[in-house]
Amino acid sequence: MTDSTPTDSIPNHSSPKRVSLALQGGGSHGAFTWGVLDALLEDGRMKIDGVSGASAGAMNAVALGHGFAAADHAGANEAARASLALLWQRVARLGEASKLQRGMMDLWLSGWKATGAALSPQLSPYQANPLDINPLRKLVQELIDFPKLVELDAPRIFVSATHVATGKAEIFRASA
């Protein structure tokens, strides 16, 4: 019995398939995407040429790039997996609050239930946070070596940001 499948239609699994990824934002989407990226990096059949991301997708993009920048070629996938895992484990810890913190927050917000809902369309997150407290920014600055990321040749990393007042998007590229 002969195989009738032409040899040119059989995929070549010896060399990784080159891909570019676009990563969306949204906290839970970002955590889900971490899982997908972890599986792709562990599998190793794909070579990531470029990554673009917005919001949580941008965090994943820079964490992945940080891992690639911090390792030699042979260990790049594992370093990227470790970088992503560390980022999301630390993000999860930021979301934890002690009973005392939750109790104080509930007490503080209890008087705002009626007025808070009415005022929320009129207040931007910037007005509600006049001290610019941003633990996520601090976390990303701690975990990501941005100078090394800028020197990274591959994968290419693109991050988008949108100006809140104008709605205009800007793309930032990590390049030397």
pLDDT in tens, 19-70: 999 999 888 888 999 999 999 999 989 999 999 999 999 999 999 999 999 8
| H/E element, 162 | strand 156-162
Give residue for tokens 């042979």. 74
DSSP state of 16: P
Is 53:61 a contact under the CB 8 Å cutoff?
yes
Q: In what order do the strands lie in the sheet with 169-173?
A: 17-23, 46-54, 156-162, 169-173
Q: Which residue has the higher pLDDT, 116 or 141?
A: 141
Lowest mean pLDDT among 21-30, 74-83, 100-109, 129-138: 100-109
Tokens of 154: 């591959």
Integer Cα distance of 96 and 69 in angstroms: 30
Packed helices 135-143 and 76-95: angle between N→C axes, nearest 10 degrees: 160
Residues in the chain: 176
DSSP state of 127: T
Integer Cα distance of 154 and 156 in angstroms: 5
pLDDT number for residue 38: 96
Packed helices 135-143 and 56-70: angle between N→C axes, nearest 10 degrees: 20
CB under 8 Å to 29, separation ≥6 — which residues?
Answer: 56, 57
What predicted TM-score, i.e. pTM, was given to this entire model? Answer: 0.74
Span 72-87, average pLDDT: 92
Tokens of 156: 């290419």
